[in-house]
Structures are given as C-alpha cells and as structure tokens.
Amino acid sequence: MARTIRTYPDPVLAQKAQPISEVTDTIRQLAAEMLELMYAHDGIGLAAPQVGEAVRLVTLDLSGPKKREAPRVLVNPVLSGHEGQVESEEGCLSVRGYRTTVPRAERVHLSATDLEGNAIEEDCDGLLAICLQHEIDHLDGILFIDRISRLKRALYDKRVHKWIKQQQRTPSE
C-alpha cells in the first residue's frame, strides 16, 4: 500500500515515536519513500510519523524539491545545547492551509546516525537548526501548532473542524 502524508488531527501525529534499534531493509525502504513523498509535496523535511510510522526517522533536503541536491536521512536524531532565540515562519505538510511564526532556538547541536550507522555530530544554525527542531518535535508527537498562542490555535482548530464537517457532508450530497 502506498504511503500518504497524514494530516492533523490524525492521532499518529501525537504519538511519541520509538527509537530504531537496527537499520533494516524496511527502514531503508521507509526512508526512500519518505524522501519521495517529501519532494512530491514540495517539502524540505519529513518525519516518519507523518507517513504513519511512529519511529525516530527524519528526512531532509534544504536544497528543496526542485534541486534535490542534499538529501539527508537521520536515524534517532537528538538535539542538545539549544542557544539563542529566533522567530521563524513555519508550515507543515501535516498541518493543512496554515503558516505562522514559531519561537525556536537559534543554534542546536545534532547527534544522530545515518543509514550506514555512521555517527553524526554537528553544530547547526539558520534554516537547518529550525527545520531540525520542527522535525524532531514530530518524533515527540508535537506539531508547530502546539507551540503557538492558545488564541491562534483555537482559531485554527475551528477551521479544521469546519473542513472535517464539509468532508463528511460531501459524499451524501
């Protein structure tokens, strides 16, 4: 069955994802499918829960879906050493029709492994730091709309409920 992008309020997006104990063919296949879906939907980052798999796997390509020059796969990524503060406008393939500014750390340190089991230790800033915080939040069941004001969130939830009602009505009309 082909995987699709899960959207809020799908419960898999609120689950805490499990660590990957071994990179198997299944994990490699999942990473390949995630990169494909990420590019197909014009994304620069994707986390496994967004395709319905609650495991700690992230794909990234900051060069974007047109260039596709810098695909990266992170297994069990962990961030530490958060420093500074920035506000960045974010959107998410799992949060339809919404973008807003989210407070993030300016710099983070990334620890992870790649699909070959090589250790990654990297100091990150700029877009990479923001993207990593967004994607690793997904692994902890957190969406960027969990980090905005209660008022903004309530307004967005109202829109989502309206869309869901419309979808439920459509087939019978």
Provide the minimum distance between the beta carbon of 155 and Ni ion in the complex, in angstroms, as a whole number. 19
Restricted to residues 105-124, the positions that interact with Ni ion (CB under 5 A) are none
Provide the minimum distance between the beta carbon of 32 and Ni ion in the complex, in angstroms, as a whole number. 19
Three-state DSSP class for residue 6: coil
Q: What is the length of the chain?
A: 173
Active-site residue, 121 included: no
Provide the minimum distance between the beta carbon of 135 and Ni ion in the complex, in angstroms, as a whole number. 7
Provide the minimum distance between the beta carbon of 2 and Ni ion in the complex, in angstroms, as a whole number. 20
The stretch near Ni ion (CB under 5 A) out of 31-39, 86-94, 150-158, 165-173 is 86-94
Query: Position of tokens 């307004």?
Result: 155
92 binds Ni ion (CB under 5 A): yes
The answer to whether 71 and 34 are in contact (CB under 8 A) is: no
| Nearest CB to Ni ion, comparing residues 23 and 92 | 92
| Nearest CB to Ni ion, comparing residues 24 and 101 | 101
* N-terminal to C-terminal alpha carbon distance within the chain: 29
Please identify which of the residues 22, 83, 106, 135 carries the catalytic annotation. Answer: 135
Which residue lies nearest Ni ion, judged by its C-beta? 92
CA angle 62, 12, 22 (to 5 degrees): 70
| Nearest CB to Ni ion, comparing residues 30 and 92 | 92
d(C-alpha 20, C-alpha 58), whole Å: 11
- Cross-sheet strand order for the sheet of 57-60: 45-47, 57-60, 72-83, 107-113, 119-124
Q: Give the DSSP H or E segment for 126.
A: helix 126-139
The stretch near Ni ion (CB under 5 A) out of 12-20, 29-37, 66-74, 90-98 is 90-98
> What residue ranges bind Ni ion (CB under 5 A)?
92
Instruction: Give catalytic residue positions.
Output: 135
